[in-house]
Structure 1
Amino acid sequence: MTLSVFCILLFAALLHASWNAIVKAGNDKLYAAIGVSGSAAVMALILLPFSPQPAHASIPFLAASTALQVVYTVLVAKTYQVSDMSQTYPLMRGTAPLLVALISVLFLGDSLSSLAWVGIAVICMAILGMACNGRASSQRGVVLALTNACFIAGYTLVDGTGVRLSETALGYTLWSFFLNGACLLTWAMIARRREASRYLAQQWKKRHFWRDWHYGILWAGAMGHDPGAAGGGRRAA
């Protein structure tokens, strides 16, 4: 891994933690999450005409990933409604890499070196240890966080294959951003039109509303900047 890719991965992790903090701090956590995803979709839509298009073979994986990520985004909001981010965020992000490694080895025929297993174990134990040292979370929050870890592992595995088949990590990632945000915005305007309209009317003049959108735009722009880090940075964060 080059230094530039490593720095982009760290930056992606910072942005990911930041948008989770935005969702946690939001008055309506679901709409805060949709706001970040929607702004990333807008940025992706702007960049898509200038990026390579993914191969047709990757489309089923792109569709499956979008479905998983929509559920993931909703679960993030639901989790932060009932629990403390300092515990549930590490649970979500710390459990997923272990699930990915286990599924890859047991069912997909991948192999990992002993050093890789040690690294995964150390990282997972450290993150889970952070979660255990915080305030007691509600049982529902812990269940939601662990459930979401399964969805994170799911879209990580799907995207791993999808990116390889797409022949363009950049195009695949931008389409993923666009479809995820577009689906969430469409759902909000159809299923909860009155609530969504009321939220927009109340929040659009407030500073934190535009901060949410700026983070989403920065997120999509950062991931679109480096095709090699796009898939990994976004998923690992």
Structure 2
Amino acid sequence: MELHIFLAVLVAALLHASWNLLVKLDLDRFLALLLISCVMVVMGAVMLSVFPWPKAESYPYIIASGLLHTGYNIFLARSYRTGDLSQVYPIARGTAPLLTFIGAWVLAGEAVTGFGALGILLLVAGIWLTARPGSRSIRLDGLTLFFALGTSGFIAAYTLVDGLGARLSGSASAYAGMLFVLDGVFMIMAALIMRGPKVFAQVLPSWKSGVTAALFSGAAYWIVIWAMSLAPIAAVAALRETSILFVMLMSAYFLKEKVTGLRLLGAVLIVIGAVALRLA
């Protein structure tokens, strides 16, 4: 992976970690995701006014990705309703890069070097160790586990779709802009069906936090889409999950959270995996 792409994806990971840590929304997970999606509609519209529109060949990918993102939002919100962050997050985020790696290899015919594969596996192992909730055992009911694994499936699916679609679009930035618009529209439709018109009154008081979260989240995924148009999809997908390492470091520094030996080992594996991807 070229250095400028490698560094850009690390910036995306830092942005993702930052909004997750710093932005506190006084909403349930579904409403928070809805608010972010609404703001990103505006962000996407601005992007489409600046960049040339993507080629028509990429439109089916954008539509598919918008639907997959909506499924991801619904499954993630449902996972957190009965499962803790420390339980759901490592399953969803830690499993997705491995699924993406397999999908890019089997479905997209994307070749990954042995060194690159080693880096991805080290990153996945490090993510799981770093996201462990200390000494507390992870116990999930079957339905929560289903939705958590389903979330990882949606992440892997929309990652593959966006990687391939961005390459066909002629403009990764325009692709991202159109995706943000469709993602928001689909999420609004899902919210109206699931919770009715009153849902907008519930999110309105938190609009300032929603703007901050959307800008950070949108910028992070914009970078990732651009990177996937130029570098192996599986490598970018794995590298972006270094956000978990940034969350751990920020939590330890700002929130004074305890870092266990296993989490330190996970951090070391993430760093080694990232270096292996850079050298692959």
Q: Is the 8 A contact 1:224 1:230 kept in 2?
A: no
Count of aligned pairs: 232
1:220 aligns with 2:218: yes
Partners of 1:26 and 1:72 in 2: CA distance = 21
Aligned to 1:159: 162
Aligned to 1:88: 88
Aligned to 1:149: 152
Aligned to 1:196: 199
Deviation for aligned residue 1:108 = 3.3
Deviation for aligned residue 1:82 = 1.6
Deviation for aligned residue 1:185 = 1.8
Partners of 2:146 and 2:11 in 1: CA distance = 29
Aligned to 1:9: 9
Q: Is the 8 A contact 1:38 1:213 kept in 2?
A: no
Deviation for aligned residue 1:21 = 5.7
Q: Using structure 2 for the length normalisation, give the TM-score.
A: 0.71
When structure 1 is superposed on structure 2, of 223-232 and 3-12 the one drifting more is: 223-232
1:211 aligns with 2:214: no
Flag the 1:137–1:181 CA change in 2: closer, same or farther, 3 A.
farther
**Cα-to-partner distance string for 1:82-140 (whole Å, 9 max, x where unaligned):** 22222322221211111111122234332221111111111111112234554324233
Deviation for aligned residue 1:46 = 1.8
Q: 2:183 aligns with which of 173, 180, 184?
A: 180
Q: Is the 8 A contact 2:54 2:174 kept in 1?
A: yes
Q: Is the 8 A contact 1:188 1:196 kept in 2?
A: yes
Deviation for aligned residue 1:199 = 0.9
Aligned to 1:39: 39
When structure 1 is superposed on structure 2, of 208-217 and 45-54 the one drifting more is: 208-217
Q: Is the 8 A contact 1:79 1:88 kept in 2?
A: yes
Map 1:94-109 to 2 at 5 A. Answer: 94-109=94-109
Partners of 1:22 and 1:30 in 2: CA distance = 18
Partners of 2:119 and 2:154 in 1: CA distance = 22
Partners of 1:230 and 1:106 in 2: CA distance = 17
Letter paired with 1:154:
A
Deviation for aligned residue 1:53 = 0.8
**Cα-to-partner distance string for 1:155-203 (whole Å, 9 max, x where unaligned):** 1111121111111111101111111012112332455234314414xx5
SS at match of 1:138: coil
Q: Is the 8 A contact 2:19 2:216 kept in 1?
A: no
**Structure 1 unaligned spans of 5+:** none
Q: Is the 8 A contact 2:34 2:188 kept in 1?
A: yes
SS at match of 2:60: helix
Letter paired with 2:155:
I
Partners of 1:16 and 1:59 in 2: CA distance = 26
Identity of aligned residues (%): 32
Flag the 1:109–1:234 CA change in 2: closer, same or farther, 3 A.
closer
Partners of 2:24 and 2:84 in 1: CA distance = 8
Flag the 1:24–1:224 CA change in 2: closer, same or farther, 3 A.
closer
Aligned-residue CA RMSD (Å): 2.9
Decide which structure has greater helix share.
Answer: 1
Q: Is the 8 A contact 2:12 2:223 kept in 1?
A: no
**Cα-to-partner distance string for 1:202-227 (whole Å, 9 max, x where unaligned):** x51xxx54112221033334655797
Deviation for aligned residue 1:142 = 2.9
Map 1:23-172 to 2 at 5 A. Answer: 26-134=26-134, 135=136, 136-139=138-141, 140-172=143-175
Flag the 1:217–1:152 CA change in 2: closer, same or farther, 3 A.
same
Q: Is the 8 A contact 1:39 1:214 kept in 2?
A: no
Q: Is the 8 A contact 1:79 1:144 kept in 2?
A: yes
